[in-house]
Structure 1
Amino acid sequence: MKWDEVPHLFEDMVSVLLSTLHPNARRIDGSGGDGGRDVQILEDGELHIFECKSFTGRIAPKSPNRRSQVEKSLKTAMAHQPDSWTLIVPIDPTPDEEKWFNGLKEKFGIECPMYWLGRDWLDRQMGNHPAIKRYFVDGVNDEVVRLLREISKEQAALDGDLIGGLERLQNLATRINELDPYYRIDISITGDQTSVSHTPRWKGAEEESPISFGIKFKFPDTELGRLESEKFRNSIERGEAVTVDSQYVTITHASGAIGISDILGKSAKIAIGSTRAPIEQELHGRIVIYGPTGQRKSSLPVRFTQRQLGSRVSSIHGQDKTGSIHISAELVESEFNHGSKYNVKVIFEPVDGLYPHDLLIVYRFASHLCNPNRIQLELGDASPIGDPVAIEGTDTFPDLPITLLEKLARIQAVANEPFSVSSTFTHDDAKQIEIATHLLDGEEINVRESREFIRPIPLEWIEEPEGKANLLSQLENQIQFLLPMSQQFEICGQKLFLGDGIYFCPNVKVDNLEELRSFLHGDKPAEPFMVHLSPTAGTPVTFRLLRDDDPPEFKDLGLVRLYPLSVASEPRADS
């Protein structure tokens, strides 16, 4: 490599080489001073600085200006506290130059390692990466154009020799990829179309060698041409994606990647992507709904996470914290600065898996998202943007289950057990919520299913013969019973505990009376006898939650209490 013939290319070639060897290498723009850094690598928390000098010949004492340049760059770079500093120059040091270079550490009190990479190293690396020399020195654009044209010819010949043609295409693609150090060229064939795409080989390649185009659009003065022109103009104004057919497009300029100049003067189908992109720092705001007479109806915090910038119109896009309310605000830049005109579109799509309280908030808000209400946007801590505007994209919503959600949120608060729910409710869900609400209101509910209560008879009831006789006499007649116990209820697929309660039946019978007689006529039992009680035909069983004014006896959970049938209603403790 004749380095003395390419001093104007040296820094470009070395920076591309370092980026090829180290994907995290970044070239420093020296237009405002590079701070003693032509290239730097920040990796694993360490900073490595490279200084490129295109000197040829010698860096000897008789060339003090060269040595002073190196020393100045070294001292400047040390302000960045690098973990290493490397001089890259197409000169292999003499013993005297090596002594001078090594002495710089002591001269300037430098602690980090210093390296000199000279001509031998550069020639070896250029041999390992020939695309760099070919690109900068040999000029390969014409060769790439020729290879691309060969690919088109090979594609046309595939029908005659499929296997051989594919092998030749692969070889051509490989040869092309040996020519551009900035971009990897990928070739794909679909039908009669050959597509060539350029992908940066390393981080920052697209910045050092950006691909740029000059494009001329010409739409004919026909109905179709005017429609295409209007679609294109609106998309550019709003930063939206748009595709323009090749009949309306001419390429007037192309640069940045080898072979790309071959499309100059040609027609091409152009696809322009959307400018929508994430907002680096989320923008928080609030949407407020006002009634037709100006009364404030509802508001909801939102966060904007994406923005879209057009030539005339910009927009921001976000949602509430549940992801159920999506908002897009379209702002005309010239008017937005004066807070005068903007359009707001809101989409309500409730998501499953929210807590009842959170779902209730968005349903309440959504109930106002209809005409003739109006909407206003507030951003950050700023004042409202303009006046309230008409709500777009919404009609009157059908009846929303707000009342059910209010009851469900109350149930969850009492149960003190967070659970998520679906955004819609079945008939059974609604019935379960109503039953639980009646209980929380202190009301009784009928236990609809026929059930049997199996409870132990406390031993202290029958320790004395008189107790056995009284119990048997009582159970052989019609009786009512009261049973305090904990009870779970299934609500929207969740088993919830709403509190301790009482089962009550005004007329029960003993299903295992004969076994009970035998038991009471026997010796003193070692353990309680399990009595089976069930309602008589047509007799309801009710359940309610314990009340604060219930006597302590009612709070002995699991202990059955029996009363004569003469007590007409639910007995008190002294019955």
Structure 2
Amino acid sequence: MKDGIDWAEVGSGGRFENIVSILLSTLYPDSQRIDGSGGDGGRDHQLVTDNKKDYWQSKYFLHRLRESATRKRQVTESLITAAAEQPDSWTLVTPMIPNPEELRWFDSLQPGYPFPLKWRGGDWLDARLAEHPAIVRHFMGANDQYVALLRELKQEQDAMVDGLPAAIDRLEQLAARMDHANPFYRVDFSIENGKVASASLKPKYPGAEKDFPIETRFDIVVESAQAEDGLRQRVADAFDWGEAVDIPAANIRNLNVNAPHGFAITDGSADISIGAVAAEAVQLSLQLLVQAPEGRRVAALPFHLAGRTHGAKGITLRGVDLTGMIRVRIRAEVAAGRVQLNIRSGTPSQGILPGTLLPALRFIAAASSPNTATFSIQGVPTGVAIELPDAEPLEPRYVEFIEGLARLQDVTNFPFPVPESWTNKDEYELRRAIRLLNGERIRIGAGPASFTLVRSAPDMAATISAAEFHSVAIPAFDPYVARICGHDIDLGDYTHYVQKARITSVELPENTGYRVTIDPDAGYGIEAALGVKNQPPGQPAVIE
């Protein structure tokens, strides 16, 4: 293995820039290479943070500047271009070591710029590359040591002679040595049931996979048309939209992988997992509108878009509504002008109030064929109408229960979260409470019932003197309390109503009032309604 790089052997054509860029990516893992296809802006590499911008410019100058009339001009032109971006530093990198005269010329440029100028020559490069010999091995073709390390790794996995605890130390040492032998990837081990299950490659720095891409080619084989369609769609989604897909080895033929030494595969077969493209974080608002066939709006719901991915076909946006119950995926084929909308509903977040959940439920109920959907992002309508698929309808009892809870809490100012579960009795009591809030009467008993009336009650004498009468209204002394999902909810004052009643009374001692017993006719019973007015009777009682 060579101890360093012979810069004369590197040649032009971007190889020198590659070496420098990989070295800088290794030294500064958060830095990035600049694609110069559209102009490099006076730098080949940069490190940009919240408070600072450092630029590097590589020039493959092997010999003195004076040997070419254009070299000084190339440096100054790059510097002027970079200065327009207002960097915090600009560094020139060359394989030649500048002499005193060249350094004086370079230093003479400094007064014209507010940021420091640096020149890193071949001596600096050699020193840094000595600290990272994997870069030298890669570019100078000295990979024998790397191959030997992989062979040693294979033997270690096969042997495990001292058991896993002792083997782990040796595997870690091997991984460290392999790490020094490859400038782009490190080796990670997966251990299952006391054995090394796999050895995987992970990029050492952002963009390493671009500097040394792992290229994979394979054929997919399936046995049935149905299986082919399903697998074909999953693979297509992986490449077109950046989705994840797992392909079993049974469906793989002619697998060829161009990877670092020891990980390459030729005409093989293996399980293949294609990971999802990393989502780009976004903060966008989405409004989905559902329209009936005649154009009438039937539902609307806001969403928060937090992830965006790119694939070969277009862009995918993902978001969730405020309840956490509904997730949306929008796929936009920009070239074709097509938009796909996928809506999935699940379980709402714990602790959510019924009034917050209700718009989501109404949206789900409406978001199905033959209705259509339109949407706007950041308040800007797209003008695209999307057909909605047939959807499984929501359970009507569920929607009715949430609607009832929302109404009850709004009127009584008694908020509590949607319970995780409820009983038939809870539903029954809620329906009765809603009927009371709607001004209806509910039956609370069959009778007879006894009441104590004070002597000063209006028309008391006339009431008591009649043995039978068409109806009677008697205010209750305590509020009506509905017990629903473990909560006692005060609905306010209420009145007892009895129709077709027979009344008997007993005067209480010391003339304090009357003890009245009311016995309704069969089929009527005793009803209750909110309020304390002695109002005339309504329709016959509803028997529940």
TM over 0.5: yes
Report the Cα distance in structure 1 between the residues aligned to 2:317 and 2:190, rounded to whole angstroms: 36
Q: Is 1:422–2:430 an aligned residue pair?
A: no
Correspondences of 1:456-471 after superposition (within 5 Å): none
2:506–2:516 Cα contact (<8 Å) kept: no
Counterpart check, 1:116 vs 2:138: no
Q: Note closer, same or farther for the CA distance 1:296–1:230 as it changes in structure 2 (3 Å cut).
A: same
Q: Distance in 2 between matches of 1:213 and 1:425?
A: 54
Whether 1:299 aligns to 2:303 is no
Map of 2:357 onto structure 1: 359
| TM-aligned CA deviation for residue 100 of structure 1 | 1.8
Counterpart contact for 1:283–1:303, Cα < 8 Å? yes
Distance 1:211 1:538 in 2: 92
Change (3 A) 1:206 1:503: same
Q: 1:208 aligned to 2:211?
A: yes
Q: Is 1:391 the equivalent of 2:390?
A: yes
In the alignment, the residues of structure 1 paired with residue 476 and residue 51 of structure 2 have an alpha-carbon distance, to the nearest angstrom, of: 70
1:410 aligns with 407
Residues 120-269 of structure 1 correspond to what in structure 2 (within 5 A)?
120-140=123-143, 142-159=144-161, 167-188=169-190, 195-218=198-221, 224=223, 229-239=228-238, 241-245=245-249, 248-255=252-259, 257-261=260-264, 263-269=265-271
1:34 aligned residue = 40
Which residue does the alignment assign to 1:463?
Answer: none
The answer to whether 1:104 aligns with 2:109 is yes
- Residue segments in structure 1 that go unaligned for 5+ positions in a row: 451-480, 514-532, 551-575
Residues in 1 aligned to 2:102 and 2:331: alpha-carbon distance in whole angstroms: 65
1:420 partner SS: coil
TM-score when normalising by structure 1: 0.66
Residue equivalent to 1:465:
none
One-letter identity of the residue aligned with 1:356? P
Higher mean C-alpha displacement, 438-447 vs 424-433? 438-447
Counterpart selection for 2:9 from 2, 5, 23:
5
CA apart distance, 1:348: 6.2
SS in 2 for 1:400: helix
Alignment partner of 1:354: what SS? coil
Task: Summarize deviations over 1:312-355 as a string: whole Å, max 9, x none.
Answer: 99987665443434566899x7998579xx79676465555333
Change in Cα spacing, 1:54 to 1:384, as seen in structure 2 (3 Å) is closer
1:425–1:508 Cα change, 3 Å: farther
Name the % identity: 30
Given that 2:287 and 2:302 are in contact with CA atoms closer than 8 Å, whether structure 1 keeps it comes out as yes
How big is the shift at 1:180?
Answer: 1.1
Aligned equivalents of 1:78, 1:312: Cα separation in 2: 37
Contact 1:363 1:400 in 2 (8 A): no
**Cα distance in structure 2, aligned partners of 1:508 and 1:90:** 118
Structure 2, unpaired ranges of 5+ = 450-473, 497-504, 520-525, 535-544
Amino acid at match of 2:44: D
Cα deviation for residue 19 of structure 1 reads: 1.4
Q: Is the CA contact 1:354–1:422 (under 8 Å) kept in the aligned structure 2?
A: no
Q: How many residues align?
A: 482
Q: 1:324 and 2:320 equivalent?
A: no
Q: Partner residue of 1:77?
A: 82
Deviation, structure 1 residue 49:
1.1
Alpha-carbon distance between aligned partners in 2 of 1:54 and 1:330, rounded to the nearest angstrom: 45
1:44 aligns with 2:50: yes
Report the alpha carbon displacement of residue 37 of structure 1 after superposing the two structures with TM: 0.6
Give the drift of 1:543.
Answer: 9.6
8 Å contact from structure 1 (residues 367, 400) kept in 2: no
Task: Report the aligned-residue RMSD.
Answer: 5.1
In 2, Cα distance between the equivalents of 1:509 and 1:91? 119
Aligned in 2, Cα 1:344/1:21: closer, same or farther, shift over 3 Å? closer
Q: Quote the Cα distance in structure 2 between the aligned partners of 1:189 and 1:327.
A: 37
Aligned to 2:91: 86
Residues 285, 379 of structure 1: 8 Å contact kept: yes
The answer on whether the counterparts of 1:46 and 1:82 sit within 8 Å (CA) in structure 2 is yes
CA contact (8 A) 1:421 1:492 kept: no
By how many angstroms is 1:413 displaced?
Answer: 2.8
The structure that has the greater radius of gyration is 1
State TM-score, norm by structure 2.
0.70
